[in-house]
Structure 1
Amino acid sequence: MAFATINYFSKALRKASSFNIVFPEDADTPRPWSVFYLLHGLSDDHTIWMRRTSIERHLAGLPLVVVMPDGGRGWYSNAVEGDAYEDDLLGLVDLIDRTFPVEAERSGRAIGGLSMGGYGAVKVGLKHHDRFASVTSHSGALGFVHGLGDRPEISPEFNRIFGPEPSGGPEDPFALVEQTDHGLLPKMRIDCGTDDFLLDQNRAFRDHLDRLEIPLEYEEFPGGHEWSYWDAHVPEAIEFHARNLGLR
């Protein structure tokens, strides 16, 4: 696999930004490639997946590009007061479509992430289901917008981004699955550690989908909110996407 850091000007953020990308370097790898957008958590940036996991090794042999954007502390959302990180992510999708030999269609795109990025992947994947065929989340902060586990000390910018009453709105994954034609939803997989402080949120989202009879691949494993857990389980997310994108 080849690796690069690419700097670009984000019109949505009105500033320079960067992303990391891993892509096949073997000339025999069939094209066009599929793309997996892999989102970081609240305290990290676009470099963290390469620094803390074996993501490049996990991709070996697949015609799959992994794009790791910089989402700041923006929850991959367009803030009520602040930056438009959702628009930045969607603009990055367009940039990748124009620049790399990828399948520039829903059937060739997947999205996933951890913690804040797990929330972002589920929310963006549901809201923009016309763009993503497959969604994964590790230890996702899926219930904060819905009012579960209110922890203002974790994200003091939360109210500035989401406003005073985000539950039930367009940034709430619980509401999005209710408001979208179930036949249009992407395939979804969620996992969480049994010692993770976000476990109850993940179980609540699982139960919500069960009540709505929406298919979900859901698993819990030993572990907490930590990189040893995410590195151990991102290969399962890659395999899930590979099946859904027709790479297996």
Structure 2
Amino acid sequence: MFRTTELSDPRFETGNLRYITVKTPNLKGRGDICVFVPPLDTLANLPLVILLHGVYGGSWVWTQKAGVHLSAWQMMEGGEIPPMVIAMPSDGLWGDGSGYVPHNGHNFEKWIIEDVPMAVMANITSVDKKSPLFISGLSMGGFGALRLGVKYRERFKAISAHSSITDLDQMALFVEEPLEGYLQEDERENSVWSLIQDNPNSLPKLRFDCGTEDLLLEYNRKLHQQLQDKRISHVYEEFPGGHQWEYWSEHVKDTLRFFGGTIDQYII
């Protein structure tokens, strides 16, 4: 499956977090995944949430800047959401951000779609091929979640995104690498809306949100309006806040609730 795999030792893990590093041809090297595994026994085929970070980040940022693992476990203990495993991969660590698209000889898309689920299933016994799959992210990761969730709609049960880039040209707001390096030959691949229009009637359940002081607000409002105009079912929400961790650490809980609402409930 992978030429090499390293898995953290339970004796030294904290916060119910596990760490996986695999070597994959898609990255032409190694990729990291931080995984939250709820401390429960005998549960199988748990839902798997793939949670994507934004520019400048890595596999650790969702836990160490938003405490998502703490929020998730508190919500599970309180019965707000069913048990689920959360996989937080690096984006491939190219430049300021890979965009989660193929470019420059690396396939950052296949890393997320193929390698990450396989690496988790190979190392986390509570996740298997029967596990329902979800995808979410923030900013560049929101673009990744929307784009990949829509493109690979048959794989995902639901999509949720925060403060999202909605078109690849918006990467220029954040990265120093030339935009031309990100753009795909098929122009439809550069836009969330273009991919949605390819097959609007078979989308996974979809939600996204944005802060009212966010520099990407108008792009998110435009996507919402496009979906409304075509009567495509979705949830769009706005909350006070900007493009910052205080916003994402709070509203990732909305994502977990949204995903949890699509899952048959377990009792802890």
TM-score past 0.5 threshold? yes
Distance across 2 between alignment mates of 1:77 and 1:48:
20
Measured against aligned partners, the alpha-carbon deviations of 1:138-191 in whole angstroms (never above 9, x if no partner) come to: 00011x33x5x584663534311215x76x412321111110151x21111111
* CA shift for structure 1 position 247: 3.6
Matched position secondary structure for 1:238: helix
- Closer, same or farther in 2 for the Cα pair 1:222/1:95, shift >3 Å? same
Alignment partner, residue 109 of structure 1: 133
Matches within 5 A, 1:100-179: 100=124, 101-105=126-130, 108-142=132-166, 144-145=167-168, 151=172, 154-163=175-184, 168-179=187-198
Distance across 2 between alignment mates of 1:86 and 1:247:
31
Whether the aligned pair in 2 keeps the contact of 1:37 and 1:67 (CA below 8 Å) is yes
Matches within 5 A, 1:61-80: 61=76, 62-71=82-91, 72=93, 73-79=97-103
2:69 to 42, 56, 63: 56
Whether the aligned pair in 1 keeps the contact of 2:32 and 2:59 (CA below 8 Å) is yes
- Closer, same or farther in 2 for the Cα pair 1:157/1:245, shift >3 Å? farther
Distance across 1 between alignment mates of 2:147 and 2:265:
24
Alignment partner, residue 84 of structure 1: 107
Whether the aligned pair in 2 keeps the contact of 1:82 and 1:161 (CA below 8 Å) is no
Unaligned runs of 5+ in 1: none
- Closer, same or farther in 2 for the Cα pair 1:154/1:11, shift >3 Å? closer
Q: Which amino acid aligns with 1:47?
A: W
Alignment partner, residue 198 of structure 1: 216
TM-score normalised according to structure 1 size: 0.89
> Is 1:42 paired with 2:55?
yes
Distance across 2 between alignment mates of 1:117 and 1:40:
5
Alignment partner, residue 27 of structure 1: 41
Moved over 3 A (4+): 149-155
- In the alignment of these two chains, the number of paired residues is 239
Whether the aligned pair in 2 keeps the contact of 1:133 and 1:245 (CA below 8 Å) is no
* CA shift for structure 1 position 63: 1.7
Mean alpha-carbon deviation: is it higher for 93-102 or for 132-141?
93-102
TM-score normalised according to structure 2 size: 0.83
Measured against aligned partners, the alpha-carbon deviations of 1:198-242 in whole angstroms (never above 9, x if no partner) come to: 000100110111112111111000000000000111111000011
Alignment partner, residue 10 of structure 2: none
Q: Between the two proteins, what is the percent identity of the paired residues?
A: 26
Matched position secondary structure for 1:75: coil
Measured against aligned partners, the alpha-carbon deviations of 1:64-107 in whole angstroms (never above 9, x if no partner) come to: 0000010031111111x3321001112212222343322524x7
Distance across 1 between alignment mates of 2:137 and 2:173:
21
Alignment partner, residue 79 of structure 2: none
